[in-house]
Amino acid sequence: MSTTTPENLLINIKVKDRDGQSHDIEARPGDSLMEALRDYHWGVAAVCGGMCSCATCHVFIAEEWRSAFPQRDVDEEDLVDMLEFEAPNSRLSCQLRLADRHDGLELELAPEE
Ligand code: FES
C-alpha cells in the first residue's frame, strides 16, 4: 500500500534568477510553472495572472528540458515574437503545466523588458 504524502508529490526545479543566483524550489504537479515562480521576491511578476498577455513570466528552459513541454501555441508564439530577449528556448511560464516528469527541471529567468 502506498504511503505517499503530499510532500512526496512535490517536484524539484532549479532556477537561475536575473542576478545569476541559483535557487532550488519545489512545485506542485498540476500548477503552472508561473505559479511556482511568482511567490519569490526574485521570481516572475506574472502581471496578467496567466492570461498570456503580459510576458512578465518569460523564462529560458534548459535545452535538455525543452522537449518536456508541448510546443508554443499561436498565442504564446505571437507574444514571444515581440520580446527583445526572445530565444529558441523562450517560454511563457504561465503556459507550461507542471507534471511529475518535470522533476529536476532547470530554467533561467529572462531579463525584464
Ligand atoms: S503571466 Fe502574463 S503572459 Fe504569463
pLDDT in tens, 81-99: 999 999 999 999 999 999 9
Domain annotation covers residue 37: yes
Domain around 30: 6-109
Domain annotation covers residue 78: yes
Ligand 1: does its nearest atom lie under 6 Å from the Cβ of 55? yes
Domain annotation covers residue 29: yes
CA–CA distance, 101 with 93 (Å, rounded to integer)? 16
How many structural domains compose the chain?
A: 1
Neighbours of 111 (CB within 10 A): 11
Ligand 1: does its nearest atom lie under 6 Å from the Cβ of 52? yes
Give the helix ranges, DSSP H, for the chain.
Answer: 33-37, 74-81
Instruction: Check whether 6 has a pLDDT greater than 80.
Output: no
CATH number of 104's domain: 3.10.20.30
Q: What is the residue whose three cell numbers read 507550461?
A: 96
Using the atom order of ligand 1, give the atom closest to the CA of residue 46.
1
Atom 3, ligand 1: residue with shortest CA distance: 52
pLDDT in tens, 28-59: 999 999 999 999 999 999 999 999 999 999 99
Domain annotation covers residue 1: no
CA–CA distance, 53 with 55 (Å, rounded to integer)? 6
Using an 8 Å Cβ cutoff, are 18 and 44 in contact? no
Ligand 1: does its nearest atom lie under 6 Å from the Cβ of 54? yes
Q: How far is the CA of 58 from the centre of ligand 1 (A)?
A: 8
Using the atom order of ligand 1, give the atom closest to the CA of residue 44.
1
